[in-house]
Amino acid sequence: MVYNTCHGLLQRGVDASILMINARIPGGQDRYRDVQGVPVHEVTYRSHLPGNPFLQTFDPRIYRDVMAEIRRVQPDLVHVHNVSGATLAPFVACRRVNVPVLLTLHDHWLLCPNNMLYKGDGALCDPAEHPRGCSHCFRRQDFWANIPWRRQIFARLVQNVRFFISPSQKLVDLHVAAGYNPARFRVVPNGIKPALFQTPSDSLVREYVRESGLFRTLLLAGAMVESKGIKTVIEALPLLARYVDRFRLLVAGRGEDRFLAALRRFDPSVVKLLGQVPFQEMRALYAATDLTVIPSVWYENSPMVIYESMLAGTPVLGSAIGGIPELIQHGETGYLFSPGDAVALTERVIQHFARSAPERRAMRRRCVEFAHTHMTLDRYLDRLQQVYDEALEA
């Protein structure tokens, strides 16, 4: 996404470069690269991000490097993406040299140490209800050490952010509920390149593409983790296998063993595990399936799976949570069901295959049209440049 943004901006005559800091993997690199025409400064540190909650909030090493980069590049505007890996140091640095800064929100890190507003018992967290954090956090993955008054401190440290760019309205609403000023948010949906298909090299993927139309295929793509609602699909599988004729589930992605083991227990002719499928080959897989399912149970932001699926013409069956309903028109370009409800998921699948073939074809057509009108990189860049201009004027 960042690469595409930078590449697009360069093509539009904007001088842009990328500083890539990854404090989460040890490496000790500091190198300048040219990635297909985009200048990238890549930094990793010798030791990974310490467990110290204060250093996880503000890492002086990152502050130093961001300062050096700002002095070197002399930017008019700094745009920060996914901030959780780089702490809040970039904002402090920008405040120091008084450069306007924008932040694209990818998750709920400003509000919640586990990024997801998702509690350990699987319930969702209401940011308004727990102004200081709920501390019942889901800690199994991507958990950041908590600090006292975390939300308040974070809000103070990002005070100089001109605009928060959010791909979905839902994320804005959650931040506003946690006390942020709604005027500071701009909704800019993501965009993807309508790239051409690549012939899949993986023989399994090729086989599935060739068999498209013979089965009623559901595709589950992404990480097989709890927050993505894999459990819902596992619960729905016996129903789907029973009530949907010639049903087949393709699973692309890696994840927790317990989910993969549960999926493996089903009839291998019904559930096909593909493991990690390369990004370029996913397009072909999307095009070959009948429905893509996103059963997430956390406040999903603006999942790229939906973008990619729609671009390939495949309607999406998504849980009505987070930014998902903003991308799917129920019955037109996909279906919505309440998160975690396996029966509702099954019903939607049955409903889809009960529709006539021309109706399903029309849905596919609408998906592509929607992707071409609402999800293109050009549209995203137009909108982004507007926000940039607004930020520079302010």
Partner 1 sequence: MKVSLINLNLVAEDAIGTCIINQVHFFRRRGDDVHVYVLHPPHNVPTDIEEVTSVVTLRELIEGQEEHFRLSDLYIYHYPGRHALMESIRGIDRGTVIFYYHNVTPPELWGSDIGRDALMRDIEGSALVHYADLCITPSPFNKQDLVDRLGYAPDRICVLPLAVALEQFTPGDRDPKLVQRYELEGQQVLLFVGRMAGNKRIDILIEALARVKSQIPNTKLLLVGDDRSNPAFRPIVADARARAAELGIARDVIWTGRVDELPPYFRLADVYVTASLHEGFGQPLVEAMACGVPVVAARAGAMPWVLGDAGLLCEPGSADDLAEKVLTVLRDTGLRQTLIERGLERVQAFSLERYEANLAEIVEKAVTHTLPEIPPEPVVEAGREAEIQPAAEAGEETQIQPPTEAGEEAQTQPAPVIPRDELVLSILSDEIMAQSDIALRGYVVRSRVPLLGPFIAWVRRNLTSHLREPYLDPMIERQVALNRRMAEWMQRAVALWTASIQRQAELEARVEALEAQIEALSH
List residues near partner 1 by CB under 8 A.
Answer: 197-200, 203, 206, 209-210, 212-214, 283-284, 287-288, 290, 311-313, 356-358, 360-362, 364-365, 368-369, 372
- Order across the sheet with 38-44: list the strands: 18-22, 38-44, 30-35
- The angle at the Cα of 385, spanning 182 to 180, to the nearest 5 degrees, equals 15
DSSP string, 191-218: -B--PPP----SHHHHHHHHTBTTBEEE
CA 185, 186, 187, 189 dihedral sign is negative
Least distance between partner 1 and beta carbon 300 (Å):
25
> What is the token pair recorded at 210?
């060739």
Q: Which is nearer to partner 1, 106 or 364 (CB)?
A: 364
CB of 373 to partner 1, least distance (A): 12
209 versus 381: smaller Cβ distance to partner 1: 209
Pairing of strands 101-104, 161-166: parallel
> To the nearest whole angstrom, how small is the minimum distance from the Cβ of residue 288 to partner 1?
7
Tokens 């699973």 locate to: 251
Give the span between the Cα atoms of 152 and 147, in whole angstroms: 10
* 328 token code pair: 């799917």
- Nearest CB to partner 1, comparing residues 5 and 376: 376
- Residue in the structure block whose two tokens are 């499928």: 277
Q: Report whether 353 contacts 216 (CB < 8 A).
A: yes
The dihedrals phi and psi of 198, each to the nearest 5 degrees, come to: -110, 140
Nearer to partner 1, 47 or 201 (CB): 201
Select 140 or 361, whichever has its Cβ closest to partner 1. Answer: 361
For the CB of residue 366, give the shortest distance to partner 1 in the complex, in Å. 9
By 3-state DSSP, what share of the chain in percent is helix, strand and coil, each rounded to 5? Answer: 40, 20, 40
Query: Min. distance of Cβ 368 from partner 1 in angstroms?
Result: 4
Q: Is 167 exposed, middle or buried (0-12, 13-18, 19+ CB in 10 A)?
A: buried
Decide whether 124 or 287 has the Cβ nearer to partner 1.
287
For the bound state, the minimum distance from the C-beta of residue 277 to partner 1, rounded and expressed in Å, comes to: 13
272 Cβ neighbours under 8 A, 6+ residues apart:
204, 208, 248, 249, 250, 251
Taking the least distance from each CB to partner 1, the nearer of 183 and 196 is: 196
Report the residue number, 166 or 314, with the smaller CB distance to partner 1.
314
On whether the CB atoms of residues 295 and 339 are closer than 8 A, the answer is yes
Query: How many Cβ atoms from other residues are within 10 Å of residue 181's Cβ?
Result: 10
What is the smallest separation between the CB atom of 233 and partner 1, expressed in angstroms?
A: 22
> Shortest Cβ distance from residue 333 to partner 1 (Å)?
13
